[in-house]
Amino acid sequence: MHHIRPNHEALLHNLLVGSLLVVAACGGGEPLDPDATGNTGMNTGNVAPSGTAGTPATAAGAGKPAPAMTTGTAGTAVTMAKPPTQNTPSTGSAMAGSVANAGGAGATPTTNPSTGGTTASGAAGSSPTGAAGGGSDASAAAGGAAPTGAGGFPRTGEEVNVKARGPYKVAHYEEGLVAAEYASAVMYYPEDAAPPFAVVALSPGFTAYGTDYEFVGDMLASHGIAALLTTPTTTGDQPGQRGVDLVAAVMHIQEENTRMGSPLMGKIATDRIGITGHSMGGGGSLFGANDLGDKIRCVVPLQPWQPGGSFRMIAAPTMIVGAASDAIASVGANASGHYASIPDTTEKILVVIQGDHYLSTDRTSGIAASEMATVNEMYDDQAAYMIPFYKLHLESDERYRTYLYGPERSMTNVTDFMANKM
């Protein structure tokens, strides 16, 4: 059951009938263009899917299926036994709950948002300019207060917590974030944390908006990491273009560090940038990582859609999050093949969590109303992996390694887990 989904999703879902599926999805059935991003592993017979907001629809299974999940050269790959189906918070130290009503509740706008005007930008994908990290934050978080003091990485003054919001107050802004590559953007950041900050750029799902992913922005910022949530100029475009948008977003994040009037001027660690995306944007994050190479610290595709996609140029640590009951971007036709295509020289993780394609936007799926008060104070099963992955790779905080590879790793609703490094 899904309590929170944009209202137009149900309308679009009813369009998924017969030959109208492709037309509705692509505005005429335009095929994916593998040359747009230099990815030669794509199946050019695939077309953009149709339907529900933030996601492609059932056409995602069309075309050449991706290779099945295999251990092969993945080294220490592990398959987890399917846990109980109960989807309520656990009191276990490594378990994560769910957070409700944070991922774009209510209706999604029917037109593309715009902040008005655009600004010309330089060459996308330029490498970061200067390290802003180094050192450590020696301050301690006492009595629940947010750590303060000298900035730096890792933030050892923070208490390790992957189950709930972090210690920082969250602020956000949109002014000054206009760019030619996307219609609008909003930046979330930790208002009372000591800079500099690592930053993650996000591309949303099919027909969705960056603001539908407030959950991700709030989660990361509360843990000391800024997040730029972008909305494409065309919300129905394909993963290759989303990748181009993310390459541009990385460049604009670096520019934000020097922009006069920016709340984050001089506060961004320009060598500590990651990218992410959901569904169509998840596929886009793989394309972006393919192009950016070692210019980013990590990439986290969430329920990525790109059947038959191959990403052999990805060099940044990658964690793909799949949903076990995803009928739109199924793990077998998407995430498992994506994982297999990434070189074994790159650190990579594939975690599959119980849930459907709305795992990243529907914060109340399967949660009883009587349990909402408790659930709202916690994060979902996905965040129990996202927080330690970002903390480890963006902030060099080794305390979180055990939450990815060790005994503290969350088992809540995890059906499969693969990794090639420990």
Q: Which two tokens stand for residue 95?
A: 């378990």
Task: List, in order of start, the domains of the chain with CATH numbers.
Answer: 7-106+126-419 (3.40.50.1820)
- Amino acid found at 383: A
- Amino acid found at 416: D
Average pLDDT (92-117) is: 31
What is the pLDDT at residue 215?
A: 87
Which stretch, 5-19, 22-36, 284-298, has highest mean pLDDT? 284-298
49: Cα separation from own chain's centroid = 20
d(CA 384, CA 96): 6
- pLDDT beyond 60 at 116: no
pLDDT mean across residues, the chain: 72
pLDDT tens string 190-207: 999 999 999 999 999 999
Please state the length of the chain: 422
Q: Which two tokens stand for residue 145?
A: 């207060």
Q: How far apart are the first and last CA of the chain?
A: 36
d(CA 404, CA 419): 9
- pLDDT beyond 90 at 110: no
What is the pLDDT at residue 360?
A: 85
Average pLDDT (170-197) is: 96
